[in-house]
Structure 1
């Protein structure tokens, strides 16, 4: 398979269960780069065995870590995947056909569609997990990730081309995995709010829960995915509410910021 002058970039931390599948699913790139933030499992060894160049970088937050990763690529065009994501033949074929034209143009980015597996099977109706559009291909001179600690996004000027075939995302293996991630993501988001001096507005928490649940369950069609749809709507709404509660606690008891940092560090949830 002829390689294209593109760098695949993956940021990792203890992704031994996923990294081989992710790297092996992208056979057409000239370079594979893994930016690892202190994995204690076999992530680094597996990545190197799969032909990836591994760069050690202490965790900077999602946005800054991705921007650092862009500087480590050998090529201007970059494909970004998370370790629990992978390509399949229909998208591989489409990318091989269309990427040369995209790269020869003045476009800044490519938009990929993501299909998510949840509780062991693909979601069929819930819109954020069926054909979600994400900017994952970009020219590093025309695009940059936001500096958010979590929920970063790619910002770019210029045109973007959308690809039809989806790539796949294996969602958190279990609800305990998800809840641990919720704790980490919520803490990072609250630190961003705290740095910006955002008012806590804890009175909004119950309303935020209700609005978020109904938005996902009804408007985003989670109701059509049965009990999995109910669960994913509840988890998302609980996360939205918990962030407000935790942020209120930061204001009410500033000592809780370092106390939470310590306990999350002990459990490997802050780095």
Structure 2
């Protein structure tokens, strides 16, 4: 397949089970870059075999790591995927057909739609996992990732272009994987709050849990996906509540920040 002047950029850490499928799903990219933060499995070797240039970079946080990865690209137009994501054949064909026109224009960002597999099957109703709109294609001179440790988002100036076909996300393989990720993400978010001096408002905790559960379960239609939907809503509500409990502990006992970090490193949840 002829290539287009676009760089596929992926950040990785121990993604040997996913990286090949992700890389192979973008056959039209002239360049494929994997920025790895010290994988101990076969991620680097597999990525290299599948045509990627691998750059080693100690972990900076999600936003800074993505911004660093952008600087490693040769081309101005960047397509960002996570290792557990991959383009559908339909989206690959749509991108190959439309990208020359998009890249010749003044748009800053391309909006892609993500379809998520959860507990081994695609979600059918839960809105954030069905056709979720995500800014994953961008011109690096017109867009930049927010410099936050977690829950990073792309910031841009200019117009956007929408693509119709989906890309796929293989959400955490098990609830164990999900809970470990929740633990790590909550820790990173709380450190951001600590740096910014966010006030502690523990009286909000019960309301936050209830509101987060009802928002996902009812308003976002998780209930239509049965018990899988209940699991999604419950996990989201637990995450929202736990972040506030953990932040309360950080403020009350500052020593807990370093102690928790050491424990996360011990179990390879922190890089």
TM-score by length of 1: 0.99
- In the other structure, the counterpart of 1:249 is 249
Q: In the aligned structure 2, how far is the partner of 1:166 from the partner of 1:51? A: 24
- In the other structure, the counterpart of 1:142 is 142
Aligned length: 271
- Following TM superposition, by how much is the alpha carbon of 1:2 offset from its aligned partner in structure 2, in angstroms? 1.1
- What are the equivalent positions in structure 2 for 1:184-263 lying under 5 Å apart? 184-263=184-263
User: 1:88 and 2:91 equivalent?
Assistant: no
Q: Secondary structure at the match of 1:269?
A: coil
Q: In the aligned structure 1, how far is the partner of 2:69 from the partner of 2:76? A: 12
- In the other structure, the counterpart of 1:49 is 49
Q: In the aligned structure 2, how far is the partner of 1:260 from the partner of 1:200? A: 19
- In the other structure, the counterpart of 2:18 is 18
Q: In the aligned structure 2, how far is the partner of 1:246 from the partner of 1:81? A: 30
Q: Secondary structure at the match of 1:173?
A: coil
Deviations 1:134-161 (A, max 9, x none): 0000000000000010000000000010
Q: In the aligned structure 1, how far is the partner of 2:99 from the partner of 2:200? A: 45
- In the other structure, the counterpart of 2:38 is 38
Structure 1 unaligned spans of 5+: none
TM-score by length of 2: 0.99
Q: In the aligned structure 1, how far is the partner of 2:42 from the partner of 2:93? A: 31
- In the other structure, the counterpart of 2:105 is 105
Structure 2 unaligned spans of 5+: none
Q: In the aligned structure 2, how far is the partner of 1:165 from the partner of 1:200? A: 43
Q: In the aligned structure 1, how far is the partner of 2:40 from the partner of 2:200? A: 36
- Following TM superposition, by how much is the alpha carbon of 1:87 offset from its aligned partner in structure 2, in angstroms? 0.6
Deviations 1:172-217 (A, max 9, x none): 0000000000010000000000000001112211110100000000
Q: In the aligned structure 2, how far is the partner of 1:17 from the partner of 1:205? A: 37
Q: In the aligned structure 2, how far is the partner of 1:160 from the partner of 1:205? A: 37
Q: In the aligned structure 2, how far is the partner of 1:184 from the partner of 1:68? A: 21
Q: In the aligned structure 2, how far is the partner of 1:236 from the partner of 1:214? A: 10
- In the other structure, the counterpart of 1:76 is 76
- Following TM superposition, by how much is the alpha carbon of 1:56 offset from its aligned partner in structure 2, in angstroms? 0.1
Q: Secondary structure at the match of 2:9?
A: strand
